[in-house]
Structure 1
Amino acid sequence: MPPKAIGPYRVLETLGSGGAGTVYRALDRRSNDEVALKLLSTGGPSLDDRAARRLAREFETLADLSHPNVVKVFEAGVHAGQPYLAMELIEGLTLRHYLDVSFNDLHTPTPSSRFPLTLRRTADDDFGSVDSPDEDEDDDRQVRLMDFGLAKFLADDAGITADGKLVGTYRYMAPEQILGEPLDGRSDLYSLGVILYELMSGRPPFDAKTPHELWRQVLETEPPPLLALNLHGDPQLARVAHRLIRKEPDDRFQTAEEVYEALSE
């Protein structure tokens, strides 16, 4: 049973759940506005003061973000030892569902975008979602990002990885993350490449039934050429995607600015 209230929010229904926690539709009793309330799992009975301080610092960073493609974050707090974030509520499709309904379009003579979309990808793929306005409004396509790495911040403090578990969605992990090596912005760019590859082909670059087989593919094999999977794909986008998911960080784009410049060519 979901909690009836979390901080100043009245829980209305459960929207989704996964390894990182649960997302609820909730009502802010102060303003009467609906929000998406994400109650994060800490992997333990309570959240210590140090982890709470880190969550507060992370929220301060998120609160400063103001971009039409980034979901708005309103408030952070702790409920019964578990941290929560109140975010903008956006209705729509998951990325997985969007790819399912769009996949066949990739192989038709005149491919089309069947839904304008807004992507909300969180630390767990279970939460990843895409929002679609009315089908007649294809000119209003918009992508929303909703993944701020909070699971990793909490893992460092609350001991989620004490037993050696990896944080994040397996298919989006860069090789260096699988190997337990230091991570930097190029690891995030790898994840961006996986998403771009999926959006262009309808499938991830690597896929398997078990994490260990998936990791073997990521570390040892090359993905199928995008343009062989999507005959209508844009060659420049395909080149960008393939470079983003190269095994060695030094072989990828080094900054998001470089990616932007490549997409602008």
Structure 2
Amino acid sequence: MIAFGLARGSDDGTQEMIGSDWGGANGFGRFETLELLGEGGMGVVYRARDRASGREVALKLLKTTHPENEVDADLRLRREARVLSALAHPNVVRIEDAGVYRGRPYIAMELVDGRTLSVWRLESPRTCRDVVKVFIDVARGLAAVHAMGLVHRDLKPANILIDRGGCARITDFGLARRIRGGGRDDDASSTVTRPGFVPGTAPYMSPEQFRGSLLDGRSDQFSFFVCLHEALTGQRPFLGSSFEEVGKSIVLGNRVRPTSLSDLSPTLLGAIDRGLSPRDQRFRDMIEVELVLRSA
């Protein structure tokens, strides 16, 4: 079981252990921690049991090994809780609880019995129909996110979970942003959104994201089609050996076009081409994307 798409092992090689500061050797408040599921640069996710309900959850906490980034990490976790509490959709990971314990925020999420899109794609041969079915789910989830006036800003295979029944869910909303007048949000003064800070994961970012422009749902749409391209062909459409090189390829539209693209239907190939186009040439919204995929 996995949640939030965090890989095992931290970025700096450290291991975050729950100890007395977390509420006991195997606990955090009312949650009994059972297993480390994943760890990223700023957070850890545990399989945990809610002692009150007996239900198992994915418990997301901030790490304590990077105090210099604690304010921004705290803001992201709190924002993720706000975003998920406002969303109720079968293709978005469900929040069970959120709060603060001993000054530390946490999120308890549904525990998804599944794997990331990347693992799902490699664990057995997948047909084009299999892949498109998953991405119809993702399109529906993104449509719900955008209907709330939100942009995910970090859609990638690691943030798409597929359960044992084949249902896809979007997760990890730590970089999500609500677009308001002037494009400002309630933590625009932090490094989460400060000028010059480019949030996201380079190979999956839109051109406007690299430029630091204001974003709307079409930015997530671009990321969606990067993921779809990779899932169908095994290759990302934009390459580079560094953040800057990848960004240049994306901004200039220098796409890789593997020969396997020729095996796709004209409708599906046309959808990918349109989704990876400049912003004003993409689909109007993810509802339109879903309709096109259903006809592909």
TM-score (norm 2): 0.68
3-state SS of 2:32 partner: strand
Is 1:202 matched up with 2:243?
no
* Paired residue total: 247
Q: Which runs of 5+ in 1 are unaligned?
A: 134-139
Is 1:235 matched up with 2:272?
no
Specify the alignment match of 2:283 in structure 1: 253
Is 1:141 matched up with 2:166?
yes
Specify the alignment match of 1:192 in structure 2: 224
- What code does the residue aligned with 1:238 have? L
Cα contact 2:233–2:261 (8 A) shared by 1: yes
Is 1:151 matched up with 2:175?
yes
- Structure 2 Cα separation of the partners of residues 32 and 68 of structure 1: 23
The verdict on how the C-alpha distance between 1:78 and 1:172 changes in structure 2, with shifts beyond 3 A counting, is farther
- Structure 2 Cα separation of the partners of residues 44 and 27 of structure 1: 31
Cα contact 1:161–1:167 (8 A) shared by 2: yes
Cα contact 1:23–1:37 (8 A) shared by 2: yes
Cα offset, 1:14, TM superposition = 1.5
For residues 204-252 of structure 1, the C-alpha deviation after alignment (integer angstroms, 9 at most, x for no partner) is: 21133311111111112432346x2245433322221221111x21111
The verdict on how the C-alpha distance between 1:32 and 1:127 changes in structure 2, with shifts beyond 3 A counting, is farther
For residues 120-143 of structure 1, the C-alpha deviation after alignment (integer angstroms, 9 at most, x for no partner) is: 99948595353352xxxxxx4321
Specify the alignment match of 2:78 in structure 1: 55
3-state SS of 1:151 partner: coil
Is 1:98 matched up with 2:120?
yes
- Structure 1 Cα separation of the partners of residues 166 and 226 of structure 2: 20
TM-score (norm 1): 0.75
- What code does the residue aligned with 2:49 have? L
The verdict on how the C-alpha distance between 1:14 and 1:250 changes in structure 2, with shifts beyond 3 A counting, is same
The verdict on how the C-alpha distance between 1:128 and 1:185 changes in structure 2, with shifts beyond 3 A counting, is closer
Specify the alignment match of 2:148 in structure 1: none
Specify the alignment match of 2:11 in structure 1: none
Percent of aligned pairs sharing the same letter: 33
Specify the alignment match of 2:162 in structure 1: 131
- What code does the residue aligned with 2:266 have? P
Specify the alignment match of 1:263 in structure 2: 293
Cα contact 1:10–1:29 (8 A) shared by 2: yes
Is 1:33 matched up with 2:55?
yes
Cα contact 1:17–1:127 (8 A) shared by 2: no
Cα offset, 1:96, TM superposition = 1.9
Cα contact 1:36–1:86 (8 A) shared by 2: yes
Cα contact 1:51–1:157 (8 A) shared by 2: no
Cα offset, 1:263, TM superposition = 2.9
- Structure 2 Cα separation of the partners of residues 82 and 181 of structure 1: 33
Cα contact 1:100–1:202 (8 A) shared by 2: no
Cα offset, 1:112, TM superposition = 8.2
Cα offset, 1:183, TM superposition = 0.9
- What code does the residue aligned with 1:249 have? R
